[in-house]
């Protein structure tokens, strides 16, 4: 068997798409016109698949901060945090993140992937147990595999299944690492964190929550689902990313536990990679201040999210279980999904086409990400484009 035989199914799919003249994967954004518009694969489109939830990629404060950092500190650090890559701004951002989350300390990573993968692979190792939600992100799964711990999945968003599996562990439950997300990235469904926290209090465990898709949009201060559900004191570690609501690249972990500073010096994903560029740190610090100072962005985001969700639902599309800034329609037939993605592009709407095995259900998804920067007119144009699609709609008409 050739080393490359395992890639043949991927090559077959790519060849089929090339034959159809469709390029949903790795679509090239040739020009960014604003936080919500661009030219993708030659089409001028509304960007409805970018995770730019608060629209901060073009915020003047963020851009000015990044430019100032470029002028004063250059384009990169050329070193890891453990070598020459810790600038004063990196330490300042960590303190600001800790203050924002009302936590003891924080760690800044170069990407969100490294944050989730790094914490998962470091906190639990051989002889330890990880209980994670079955629909957790690939970066979490990768971290769990790297660490060498025993990994057990519990049913998605099912606290009773989590409790059952914890009780089976007996005395080992007290030191079991429990991992869930605030909002799940594919269907936009929210975790029942209050119930998960109650199970942890009853059975034991160490709780890590990924708030990547909920930072800046939920809770009184925008800290995410844990704040919204009032269970922050039950969460041992919160991880997340700068690449969504904060409009940059990078990741973080915050914690009320003093052990986080000990863990810092064992995380290979932190020790052996270059630290984030000064401009990225600067724009992220500005964006974090904006989340605290401009709650109206959160209000606009949810207004847009409810309009898109309710509009698609009324048209009969099968969508996620609740309104969310992630609004995905499920399409059973792969060819229909590909054709629909292409038709949306032709009509000036860019969304994400997600296909198995990346989807939690085994079906294809046309996944939209709503932004506070979307105008009401843009949301209506997205709905009109979806309404024109000739695909099966098996949702409930209202």
Residue 289, in any domain of the structure: no
Lowest-pLDDT choice from 86-100, 236-250, 343-357: 343-357
Residue pLDDT, tens place only, 282-301: 999 999 999 999 999 999 99
CATH number at residue 332: 3.90.1150.10
Say what the pLDDT of residue 392 is: 76
Q: Which of 127, 90, 145, 140 is nearest to 264 (CA)?
A: 90
> Are 119 and 38 found together in one domain?
no
Looking only at the bridges linking them, the beta strands covering 37-40 and 29-32 are antiparallel
- 152 three-class SS: strand
Model confidence, pTM: 0.93
Query: Does one domain contain both 10 and 154?
Result: no
When pLDDT is cut at 50, 70 and 90, the band that residue 393 belongs to is: confident
In a domain, 146, yes or no: yes
Of 134-138, 176-180, 238-242, the range with the lowest mean pLDDT is 134-138
> Residue 285 domain-assigned?
no
Percent of the residues in the chain that have a pLDDT greater than 70, as a whole number: 98
SS (H, E, C) 308-370: HHHHHHHCCCCECCCCCCEEEEEECCHHHHHHHHHHHHHCCEECEEECCCCCCCCCEEEEEEC
Give the per-residue pLDDT at 372: 98
Spot the catalytic one: 200, 213, 300, 374. 213
Q: Are 176 and 166 in contact (CB under 8 A)?
A: yes
> Last residue of a domain, which of 276, 305, 339?
276
Instruction: For the chain, count helices (H), then strands (E).
Output: 14, 14
Is 282 within a domain?
no
Give the other-Cβ count within 10 Å of 384's Cβ. Answer: 12
Q: pLDDT digit string (tens) for 226-264?
A: 999 999 999 999 999 999 999 999 999 999 999 999 999
244 is catalytic: yes
Say whether 243 is catalytic.
no
Q: Which residue has the tokens 């992100």?
A: 137
343, pLDDT greater than 70 = yes
Q: Which of 110, 121, 185, 369 is catalytic?
A: 185
**Domain boundary at 276, 304, 336, which?**
276
pLDDT band at 397 (very low <50, low <70, confident <90, very high): very low
Buried b (16+ CB within 10 A) or exposed e, 263-298: bbeebebbeebebbbbbbbbbbbbbbebbeebeebb
Q: Are residues 157 and 258 in the same domain?
A: yes
Q: How confident is the model at residue 40 (pLDDT cuts 50, 70, 90)?
A: very high
Q: What number is the average pLDDT over the span 211-224?
A: 96
Q: Structurally, how many domains does the chain consist of?
A: 2
Could you confirm whether 200 is annotated as catalytic? no
Identify whether residues 270 and 309 lie together within a single domain.
no
Asked if residue 231 and residue 373 are part of one domain, the reply reads no
Q: Which domain holds residue 83?
A: 77-276
Residue 70 in domain: no
Shared-domain flag, residues 81 and 171: yes
User: Of 103, 114, 124, 105, which is closest to residue 80 (Cα–Cα)?
Assistant: 114
Q: Provide DSSP, 273-298.
A: SBPPPHHHHHHHHHHHHHHHH-THHH
More confident residue, 31 or 390: 31
Check whether residue 303 and residue 271 sit in a common domain.
no
The pLDDT value given to residue 244: 97
Q: Is residue 221 part of a domain?
A: yes
Residue 136 has pLDDT above 80, yes or no: yes
Q: 119 and 177: one domain? A: yes
User: What is the structure's pLDDT at 23?
Assistant: 73
If DSSP codes are grouped into helix, strand and coil, which group holds residue 272? coil
Burial of residue 334 (number of CB atoms within 10 Å: 0-12, 13-18, 19+):
middle
Q: Which residues are CB-neighbours of 224 under 8 A, at least 6 positions away?
A: 182, 209, 211, 214, 215, 217, 218, 238, 240
DSSP tag of 191: P
Which of 137, 200, 244, 300 is an active site residue? Answer: 244
398 pLDDT higher than 60: no
Does residue 328 belong to any structural domain of this protein?
yes
pLDDT for 334 beyond 90: no
Q: What is the widest separation between alpha-carbon atoms in the chain?
A: 59
Domain boundary among 246, 276, 306: 276
Is the predicted pLDDT of residue 92 greater than 50, yes or no?
yes
Q: Does residue 134 share a domain with residue 187?
A: yes
CATH of the domain at 211: 3.40.640.10
Region 25-44 average pLDDT: 93
Can you give the pLDDT at residue 165? 97
Tokens of 231: 């269970």
Percent of the chain with pLDDT over 90: 86
Contact 341, 366 (CB under 8 A): yes
Determine, yes or no, domain membership for 145.
Answer: yes
Q: What average pLDDT does the segment 310-337 reach?
A: 93
DSSP at 173 = G
Average per-residue pLDDT for the chain: 94
Asked if 351 and 367 touch (Cβ cutoff 8 Å), the reply is: yes
CA nearest 74: which of 279, 275, 276?
279
Residues 272 and 350 in one domain: no
- Whether residue 25 has pLDDT greater than 80: no
For residues 245 and 336, state if they share a domain.
no
Domain match, 243 and 321 both: no
């Amino acid at each position: 068997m050739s080393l490359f035989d395992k890639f043949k199914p991927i090559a077959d799919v790519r060849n089929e798409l090339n034959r159809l003249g469709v390029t949903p994967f790795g679509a090239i954004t040739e020009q960014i016109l604003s936080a919500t518009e661009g030219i993708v694969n030659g089409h001028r489109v509304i960007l409805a698949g970018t995770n730019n939830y608060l629209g901060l990629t073009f915020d003047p404060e963020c851009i000015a901060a990044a430019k100032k950092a470029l002028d004063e500190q250059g384009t990169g650090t050329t070193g890891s945090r453990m070598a020459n890559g810790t600038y004063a701004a990196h330490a300042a951002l960590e303190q600001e993140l800790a203050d924002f989350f009302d936590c003891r300390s924080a760690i800044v990573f170069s990407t969100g992937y490294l944050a989730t993968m790094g914490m998962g692979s470091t906190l639990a190792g051989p002889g330890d147990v990880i209980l994670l939600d079955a629909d957790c992100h690939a970066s979490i799964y990768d971290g769990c595999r790297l660490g060498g711990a025993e990994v057990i999945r519990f049913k998605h968003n099912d606290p009773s299944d989590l409790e059952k599996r914890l009780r089976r562990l007996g005395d080992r439950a007290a030191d079991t690492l429990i991992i869930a997300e605030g909002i799940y990235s594919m269907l936009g469904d929210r975790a029942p964190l209050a119930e998960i926290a109650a199970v942890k209090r009853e059975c034991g465990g160490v709780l890590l929550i990924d708030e990547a898709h909920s930072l800046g949009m939920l809770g009184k201060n925008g800290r995410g689902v844990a704040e919204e559900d009032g269970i922050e004191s039950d969460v041992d570690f919160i991880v997340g990313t700068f690449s969504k609501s904060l409009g940059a690249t990078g990741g973080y972990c915050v914690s009320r536990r003093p052990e986080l500073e000990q863990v810092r010096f064992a995380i290979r994903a932190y020790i052996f990679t270059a630290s984030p560029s000064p401009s990225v740190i600067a724009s992220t610090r500005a964006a974090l201040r904006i989340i605290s100072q401009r709650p109206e962005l959160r209000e606009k985001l949810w207004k847009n999210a409810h309009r898109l969700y309710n509009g698609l639902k009324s048209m009969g599309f099968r969508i996620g279980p609740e309104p969310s800034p992630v609004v995905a329609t499920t399409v059973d037939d792969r060819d229909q999904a590909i054709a629909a993605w292409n038709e949306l592009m032709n009509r000036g709407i860019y969304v994400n086409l997600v296909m198995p095995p990346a989807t939690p259900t085994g079906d294809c998804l046309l996944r939209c990400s709503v932004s506070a920067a979307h105008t009401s007119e843009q949301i209506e144009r997205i709905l009109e484009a979806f309404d024109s699609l000739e695909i099966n709609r098996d949702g409930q008409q209202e």
